[in-house]
Each structure stands twice: as C-alpha cells, then as structure tokens.
Amino acid sequence: MIAKPKGTVDITGSDAILWEYVNSVVATMCSAYNYEFIRTPIFEASELFHRSVGESSDIVKKETYDFQDKGGRNITLRPEGTAGVVRSYIENKLYASPDIKKYYYNGTMYRYERPQKGRLREFTQFGVEVLGGSDPIIDAEVISLQYRILEALHIGNLQVNINSLGDNESRDNYKNALVKYLEPHINDLCEDCRERFKTNPLRILDCKVDKDSDILKNAPKTIDYLNKESKERFDTVLKYLGLLDIDYEVNPNIVRGLDYYDHTVFEIVSLDNEETKANVLGGGGRYNKLIKELDGPESYGIGFACGMDRVVDTLKEIELYKDVKKDIECYVMYVSEEEKLYALDITQNLRLNGIVTETNNLNKALKGQFKEADRLNAKYLIILNNEDLQKGLVNVKDNRTKEEEKVDIDELTEYIIGNL
C-alpha cells in the first residue's frame, strides 16, 4: 500500500462537507465586501519568495520545497499566497487601474515543517490581498472581514491581536534598540538566533526555540518606537476597529514571521479553545514596501490568510457541526430494465432542478434500495413500477411520515419542490 506523504491529509467525509461549507461562506462574504477571486500558480520562481518572504525568515531558510525543473529553472512550491498575488499585480500591470484592487484566494501552500496538529507540510489557506491603497480604512476592512468570516462560521470568542511595526524610520529605530538590548545576551540564545542577530535581528523575536525565554519576553517593543506619523496611523486603525465592533487587543509581541510587513500586523485566535489559542487561525498585515521591492511601482498592500485546516479543526469542536452529514432529497427506486430507463430520465430531471437525488446504481433488489435510501437519509422515495408508469404516474413516499401518493410524472419536480 502506498501511504500519503508525511504532513499531508486526505479530506473526506464530514471534513469534506465542512471544507465545502467554509469555502462557500468565504466566497459569499468576500463578494459582499466586493473582493474578486484570484488564482495564481502553486509554483513560482524561487527568487520571488527569497525577495518577499525574506532570506532570513524560517520559511525561506528551512521550509520551502525547492527543485530545479527540467529546464534548469529554480522553482519553489508556494509557502504562502501574498507573494504570488503581488507578482501577478505587477506582471499584469493591475496597478494601472484607478481603483484599489481587492482579491481573495484559496489554495494549497507548502512548508517543510515538523508535522503536528494544525501544522502540516501541505495545507490550505484562504486569504485576501488589497493593493493600491494605504488609508487605515482598508486595514480596518481587511481585519474585520477576517473576523466576520470566522464569526459567520460560528467560531466563538474571537480576538484579534494587533500590533504596529511602523514605517521605515520607526523600524530602524526599533532595530537599533533591539540590537543594543540583545548584544549582551546573544550567547544565551540558540545558534539560529546568533545567526539572525547578524542578518535580521527582528527575526529573533519569532524564534520557535527561544520565544518563551525571559530575554525575549523583556526585549524592547516595536510599539514604543513608532514615530508620530506611524503612531497616529495605528491609533486610527484601532479607532476604526472599535467603530466596527471588532474585539481586539494590542499585543506588542506580534512581529510575524515574514519579512515584508510594516505598520499594522495582526493575528486572530479563538479564546474558546486552548489549542487554537496556541495555533492562530489566521494572520496578516500591511506591506507597503513589498511591491516596489519586487520591481513594481510605488504602491501599497495589506492582506490576511487563514489556515483552512485549523479552521475546520475548530469547527469540528463546535456542537453545531457534530455529526455533520449530507442528506439527500430523493431516492429513485426501480427493479426492471424498463423501469430503469424511466429512472435514468427522472433522476436527471430532478438533479437538473437542483434536487439532490440518488438512484439504484448497483442493481439492488427493492429491500436493498430501501436500506440505501435510509442510510442516505432520503426525504422522498420515488418508487417506479411499470403499471403506474404506463399511466404516466409515479409513487412518491414521504420517508419521514411514510405517507404515499401517486403523482403525475410531469408534475413530479414541482411536487417535490413544493413539499421539501
């Protein structure tokens, strides 16, 4: 038997139903907020991630799936969605629009991590990116959309943890303060952190090994190094979030593991659940320098991404989603070959009218068909027999009340729709 690769999952049964459901809520909510769907490639030139997510990030240093294709090109399976969307924005000159561009996406991402609950090597994110505007109203919209999607899924006790990294000047001031603070402690940190100290000291703050050490807990906080403009901007974002009734907490420890952020950064958790508190459901932030750094024009961006696998795991713990199953509406039953021809046609007709319908696909005897219809929780049984069919009639049995009625074949669809 060939097993699936480590860190991947098969989504089947009730998990698959929840996935479809989450996807539909995401699409409905994003379109209400006027976001367009975007799909970008699962693999991109490796350079894209080196230059966006960052050489010194854990993702690029340790976790990417890299290979050379048959033409000798360096290719990477995308570890996240933002870089591809920004690449597309630049390459397709989508910035030429006088309006901001608002995209949502949904797809698999790849990171070579140590697999554990909520941490996979192939996982799925849904997310949004808004490009071309930097007003704080956009930050508030993106954060509230993420919050409202999870709320619409009935995930309780949501909290947005938010912080600001500020603009270039604020970040530089902070970096200097951090380096000064860390210098005397550097030999007490892990080997990776000693390396990060030379390349990108900010990355030390999201080190998985040292993150709970007193050294990092007592490190200076970005929020204390914001210049006036950045501070005002952050306060405005918070004001708008308050106005939109979003539960947030300013958490100065959030720096995020990707290099492209500036200003607003955030993560969302459900306080209902110890596990999800540790495993954030989603995160994001503003990236006002990234578009230029990827050879695009001076422009601005912000977005979020949620881990689909973590969202579905969380839903599975909510009473509402226990024993979720897809019931069918009609089961078409027949025995003879002549009845089968009618069954084919009637089944198709019901399906084309949006009625979830199944029929006897294994040439079962009537008894077996009744059992299957019960397993599928069919609401109506359409029982065909030659005698009635000759008169243009079918037997319709309400499988809940067990009442049976003869219905004209031509009126069957309306009859079912009227009674569902």
Query: Which spans of this chain sit near ligand HAM (rule: CB under 6 A)?
Result: 80-82, 111, 113, 118-120, 123, 125, 127, 129, 257-258, 280-285, 303-307, 309-310
| C-alpha 150, offset from chain centre | 10
DSSP string of 280-339, one letter each residue: -SEEEEE-TTHHHHTT--S--EEEEEEEHHHHHHHHTTSGGGTT-----SEEEE--SHHH
Q: Which two tokens stand for residue 386?
A: 């030659």
Q: Nearer Cβ to ligand HAM, position 125 or 357?
A: 125
Longest CA pairwise span in the chain (Å)? 94
* Residue 106 or 385 with smaller CB distance to ligand HAM: 106
Residue 264 C-beta: closest distance to ligand HAM, Å: 10
Q: How far is the CB of 86 from ligand HAM (least distance, A)?
A: 9
- Residue 124's alpha-carbon distances to 19, 42, 374, in angstroms, are 10, 11, 34
Task: Tell me the closest approach of the beta carbon of residue 299 to ligand HAM, in angstroms.
Answer: 14
Here the tokens at position 193 are 């952190």
Nearer to ligand HAM, 299 or 359 (CB): 299
Rounded Cα–Cα distance for residues 291 and 95 (Å): 10
Q: What is the dihedral of CA 310, 131, 242, 173, to 10 degrees?
A: 90
Q: Which residue is nearest to ligand HAM (CB)?
A: 307
**Smallest separation (angstroms) from ligand HAM to the CB of 163:** 13
Sequence-separated (6 or more) residues with CB below 8 Å from residue 215:
182, 185, 188, 189
Residue 283 vs 393, nearer CB to ligand HAM: 283
State the DSSP string of 237-260: HHHHHHHTT--EEE-TT---S-TT
Rank residues 82 and 359 by Cβ distance to ligand HAM and give the closer one.
Answer: 82
C-alpha 342/C-alpha 348 separation (Å) is: 10
| Residue closer to ligand HAM, measured from CB, 132 or 307 | 307
Nearest distance in Å: CB 260, ligand HAM: 8
Q: What is the distance between the alpha carbons of residues 382 and 344, in angstroms, rounded to a whole number? A: 12
Closest CB to ligand HAM among residues 166, 303: 303
Q: How far is CA 327 from CA 65, 312, 374, in A?
A: 40, 20, 10
Minimum distance of ligand HAM from residue 386's CB (angstroms): 56
In whole angstroms, the minimum distance from the beta carbon of 9 to ligand HAM comes to 10
